[in-house]
Amino acid sequence: MNQGPVFDKRDQFDKVSSGLLQGEQIIAVYDAIGVGTGFIGLTNLRVVIQDNSFVGKKVAITSIPYSKISSVSFVADKSMFGKFASSSNIAISTSHGNHEVDFRGDEKAKHTHDVILWHMLNTK
């Protein structure tokens, strides 16, 4: 049973919706906390990250196709062995660098991690 996309804030969902390609569908859009990142969007084709940290109050919306992601990680201050989903921060690595996102809740971080990992393993 498909429940449709999940999201925290309608305006963030609408930003991702406005940039969808033909056949692209939103899986989730989560609000991010901390310096820089405004939100992370997950579609069936890519990850969309809003970065608010540009000089002059500029904002970047970055799209990362799943096929270009080399790794996705939970980030924590201490060893998480045995507590895989305890972090509310993930890092996405590409050949062009890393993107870190802090979430409001462990469940959102785990869902994001799992969606990215699934697409990484199933994208040709």
What CATH number did the domain enclosing 48 receive? 2.30.29.30
Whether 46 is covered by a domain: the verdict is yes
Q: Which residue has the higher pLDDT, 47 or 37?
A: 47
DSSP 83: -
Whether 38 is covered by a domain: the verdict is yes
- pLDDT of 1 > 90? The answer is no
Q: Which pTM value belongs to this model? A: 0.85
Whether 1 is covered by a domain: the verdict is no
The domain total for the chain is 1
* Segment among 7-11, 22-26, 48-52, 86-90 with least mean pLDDT: 86-90
Tell me how far apart the alpha carbons of residues 55 and 60 are, in angstroms, rounded to a whole number.
Answer: 11
* Best-predicted range by mean pLDDT (22-26, 55-59, 82-86): 22-26
- What are the tens digits of pLDDT across the range 92-115? 999 888 988 998 878 899 999 999
